[in-house]
Structure 1
């Protein structure tokens, strides 16, 4: 019995499907930007967890938002340092929001 190999178009994701990291980023941004939800500490924690993986993968917008969140909301020095590093990376990549946040922190 001979088996056929599966062709590429069947196994590849369709062009209209958004990768999971983009979905988690969009949900995190929606949560943080929501007027009623964005002030809750548990929502900020969830948004931070959703932004963590895209930020590790080098998504500049995720680095910027997570860096701002960690610098403003975290109580310990280690998390603030990590947030500062994320903001620096995003600013180097050209993110204006990260540059402004760094100016506020360092200024």
Structure 2
């Protein structure tokens, strides 16, 4: 008798995505540095695994709220990946970012 291995990463990724979304969408919490840091940690694994919404949210978070060039570069790459997958929020962020570099 063979046993099928059940992956628990998909439900965990969905839960972390929902919690991170709640932290970033909550008007009171979204400005807190600790909430942003926690949301970033929650989004990191799903974004690396290719979850488009996580890539978009993490890319925006890194580009808008992190001061280092390294974090900004990583955020731009996540935004590019999400935009290639068709995420409108990432596409808008990249075109707006390109316009801000030109002016």
The alignment's TM-score, normalised by the length of structure 1, stands at 0.84
Unaligned runs of 5+ in 1: none
Task: Report whether the alignment pairs 1:85 with 2:77.
Answer: yes
How has the CA–CA distance of structure 1 residues 12 and 89 changed in structure 2, closer, same or farther, with 3 Å as cutoff? closer
Unaligned runs of 5+ in 2: none
The alignment's TM-score, normalised by the length of structure 2, stands at 0.87
Decide which moves more: 18-27 or 41-50. 18-27
Task: Report whether the alignment pairs 1:97 with 2:89.
Answer: yes
Moved over 6 A (4+): none
Alpha-carbon shift at residue 84 of structure 1 (Å)? 0.4
How has the CA–CA distance of structure 1 residues 6 and 30 changed in structure 2, closer, same or farther, with 3 Å as cutoff? same
Question: What is the Cα-based RMSD across aligned positions, in Å?
Answer: 1.6
Deviation by residue 1:4-38 (Cα, 9 ceiling, x = unmatched): x5755xx747xxxx711100000000000001111
Aligned length: 97
**3-state DSSP of counterpart to 1:19:** helix
Task: Report whether the alignment pairs 1:30 with 2:3.
Answer: no
